[in-house]
Structure 1
């Protein structure tokens, strides 16, 4: 989450994203940790004050510290966030989900920009939120943020191994993309061998498997696979095409028949005479390239004299009887293709 938030903030500061800023809802880490990692990614203090707002739900989530200070008549200036008042806002009522939603939107509206200003939201731990609120209330919060007209994107982190499967699925239904980070090496106790001489714990500190499930607009799910490497304060992703193909093939159902055609079957299918396609009656089959007038047809060297005479006689006779001939747009078109032509159409 630290590196993703830093990358989003960097793109917003450089003007490479629709969002003008990032609102970080910090539950698991101190706001200073986020500011430090963003500074290491090249953001200066001016960019942080302009493009980053942190809602601090970590320092005093239930307001107990403030109550103790008020009882002891101590000033509030001793808080660790006093040096970054423009960037950090302390939130002391994490159980009130409605107030949390209003605070996030108010911080996002504070970004400067011409016209409608968009911003992104990062929630660093849904698991920590579940300690104070129910699944229904948190799901409602995320749905309201998604439907807000000024929020361009929202992403969150959840430790799925700490919760029941039904809780994880409830939040996956709200998302258009689910990214899972799994250990690179698994202990042999669980049935898999450890690779290499390095301890599997040390190996997993620097490398991991990164699986992505992306929901497309037509309802299909696209699976991606990459390797994640941590080098110092930077995270790099290495594409693994061969492994991605294996992952996609493993998701296919195991059936008792072949889903692919052999070379002989493809050749036999190509020789089948389709009843709805015009066969030319001995003449070369012409590929239809749009409606043409008769003078344009005379200039076409691909048309034979007999074909031109047939077209001329058909126009002169004006016979009410006619035929419908199917002509393919190109040789690449397969008449019996079951592919959806709008599969990759982005509307």
Structure 2
């Protein structure tokens, strides 16, 4: 499912449609959302650098990490940083979000960024001004692809940090304006749901076309975390979870998918849900509803059902099976052989066989040819 999400961001938007937007969110029990964000960022960067994506550039708005962190991340993923100036720009909202660092640099008590990071980073010193932030993102993207039909992608590493400095309406307006921009191919961001109110999370999810939530693979049996069993589950949920994706289709329907996410020494892995996990099976069995009736017929019930003679079939008299179509008259039916019988004229009470005799309603009374069927009508 993670590959499907990355392909959706890679393919971008159709002509006349808004850019696809992805919300990646997690919670305290399973804090793996930023790892998933870095994975999507690396996959999209690889496609952009190889020119396999609709977008030809990427603008990363960094709130929670420094530009040097993302430069090292792209290096570890095997991307050529020397050519990164042609397809990526980082809007640095982490180093000096309120303009205080600039004053410290004048005093000589602040450190500068690395040479590689400074080549692709641009510092934003007033993150409270959302309009200026939007203009900075657009100008950085246009500086890479120019003004025209060529598109670029946008990534925001922390919506929570944006909400610390701006109101919800301002942040929602920024995300909406970015989606509506004709030059933006796709956009995705990370949100830690436990640091926001439910209405804030609902608004951010409403602004997106895809929502990828990291959920605990095994929920807690109770709220007492001092339990030794729950402590092992806490430790396990910090490295393994469920990657749950909800996608809004163009026809209005919602597609739901999920797979397992695992963080190991080699990196992040996405696998299909495993049924071999005993704890998962135990939880799933507890969630199954307990019904008080059988969902399948027994052998005796199947045999009894096979012995029932349906009213529209005349069979068992040695002649080919004839389907009663309801159009034969009562006089014709008298010439037919008798229905299924056991060879005796008397009904055997001990026999398990039965019959259903069916007569069409129109055969009960033959209409009088001299009688006008419309005599009772008062015209």
Partner of 1:117: 150
Structure with max Cα Rg: 2
Residue pair 2:217, 2:237 contacting (<8 A) in 1 also: yes
CA RMSD of aligned residues (A): 3.6
Q: Secondary structure at the match of 2:96?
A: coil
Q: Structure 1, residues 64-88: CA drift from partner, whole Å, max 9, x if none?
A: 0102333x3x499x52255433211
Q: Which of 70, 80, 87 is equivalent to 2:113?
A: 80
1:35 equivalent to 2:71? Answer yes
Q: TM-score, normalised by structure 1?
A: 0.64
Partner of 1:167: 200
Q: How does 1:88-127 map to 2 (within 5 A)?
A: 88-112=121-145, 116-127=149-160
Q: Structure 1, residues 30-63: CA drift from partner, whole Å, max 9, x if none?
A: 1111111111111012342222211110011101
CA distance in 2, matches of 1:227, 1:221: 20
CA distance in 2, matches of 1:214, 1:83: 37
Residue pair 1:3, 1:37 contacting (<8 A) in 2 also: no
1:189 equivalent to 2:222? Answer yes
User: CA, structure 1 residues 81+107, in 2 after alignment: closer, same or farther (shift >3 Å)?
Assistant: farther
- What is the CA-CA distance between 1:216 and the residue it aligns to? 1.2
User: CA, structure 1 residues 10+135, in 2 after alignment: closer, same or farther (shift >3 Å)?
Assistant: same
User: CA, structure 1 residues 189+84, in 2 after alignment: closer, same or farther (shift >3 Å)?
Assistant: same
Q: Which has the higher contact order (CA 8 A, sep 6+)?
A: 2
User: CA, structure 1 residues 209+112, in 2 after alignment: closer, same or farther (shift >3 Å)?
Assistant: same
User: CA, structure 1 residues 125+213, in 2 after alignment: closer, same or farther (shift >3 Å)?
Assistant: same
CA distance in 2, matches of 1:31, 1:201: 31
Report the number of matched residues.
251
Q: Secondary structure at the match of 1:190?
A: coil
Q: Structure 2 unaligned runs (5+)?
A: 1-36, 288-304, 306-311, 313-324, 326-379
Q: How does 1:13-32 map to 2 (within 5 A)?
A: 13-32=49-68
Q: TM-score, normalised by structure 2?
A: 0.59
1:145 equivalent to 2:145? Answer no
Partner of 1:52: 88
Q: Which of 23, 32, 44 is equivalent to 1:8?
A: 44
Partner of 1:276: none
User: CA, structure 1 residues 14+97, in 2 after alignment: closer, same or farther (shift >3 Å)?
Assistant: same
Q: Structure 1 unaligned runs (5+)?
A: 251-263, 265-270, 272-278, 280-347
